[in-house]
Amino acid sequence: MSGGAELGFTEHLFKVLVIGDHKVGKTSFVKRYVKNQFYEELKTTIGVDFSMKVIDWDSHTRVRLQLWDIAGQERLRGLNRVFFKRSSGALVVYDMTNGSTLDGALNWKHELDSQVMLKNGRPIPAVLLANKCDETKVCRRNASLLEKLCQEKGFIGWFQTSAKENINVDEAAKFLVKHILQNNEESVKEEEQNMQINLKQQSKSNSTCC
C-alpha cells in the first residue's frame, strides 16, 4: 500500500469506501471533501463513483486517497460487494433526518466486516457519519447512543457532518486517515518483528545444525 521512501519521504495510497443507504449524501460528502463544492442536484450513482484526494499529511508523508463512492440501493448491494476488497478504511454515512438509514449504516458496517479485514484479522477502520446535521440537531441522548453504537459495532468514532454547510467534513476524513496510517505503521512493525523472529529461528536452527 505504501510507496517507496526516498529521502525519508513516504507516499501512501489508500482505498477508502464511502457506503450507506441511498440518499444519505455520500456523493455530496465526497464532492465537498474533494472539490469543496456542494451540488443540489446530482445524478444517481450507478455502480461506483471514483474520486481522488491527495493530502500532504506532514513534511515527509503524502497520502493519496482513492475514494470509492458506492451506489446505495439495497438491491445492488450484492453486486457492489466485490468493490469492498483491499480497502483500507470506510466512511459509513447515514442521514440524521431519516432514522432508518442508521439501521442501514449498521447493516453496511456488518457487511463490510464480513468482506474485508486487516492483516491481523481486525476490522478495517470505519467512521460513522451522521450527515445532514444542518437540518437537525443531535440531542445529548442521541450522542450517548451513537457513542455506545460505535463501541458495540466497532466504529472508530462518529462525526455529525454536513456536506452542504461544510461541517466536520475534513475533520472526519482526517480522523479516518490518522487511523489508517496508524494501522499501516503497526502492520509494518508486525511484519518486521515477524521477519526478525523468522531470522532468529533460522539462526537458531542453523546453530543447532552445526
Residue ranges that bind another protein, judged by CB under 8 A: 22-23, 41-52, 66, 71, 73-76, 78-79, 82-83
40 within 8 A of 31, measured Cβ to Cβ: no
Residue placing its CB nearer to another protein in the complex, 43 or 141 = 43
Query: Which residue number, 71 or 126, has a Cβ lying nearer to another protein?
Result: 71
For the CB of residue 25, give the shortest distance to another protein in the complex, in Å.
12
Q: Dihedrals φ, ψ of 23, to 5°? A: 75, 5
Nearer to another protein, 48 or 118 (CB): 48
Which CB, 98 or 142, lies closer to another protein?
98
**Neighbouring C-beta atoms of residue 129, cutoff 10 Å:** 31
Tell me how far apart the alpha carbons of residues 132 and 97 are, in angstroms, rounded to a whole number.
Answer: 7
C-beta of 48 vs 138, nearer to another protein:
48
Contact 164, 28 (CB under 8 A): yes
User: What is the nearest approach in angstroms of another protein to the Cβ of residue 141?
Assistant: 26
* Residue 173 C-beta: closest distance to another protein, Å: 16
Tell me the closest approach of the beta carbon of residue 19 to another protein, in angstroms: 15
Q: Which is nearer to another protein, 98 or 150 (CB)?
A: 98
Compute the distance between CA of residue 200 and CA of residue 131 in angstroms, rounded to an integer. Answer: 51
- Measured from the CB of residue 145, what is the shortest distance to another protein in angstroms? 22
**Taking the complex as a whole, how short is the minimal distance between the CB of residue 76 and another protein, in angstroms?**
6
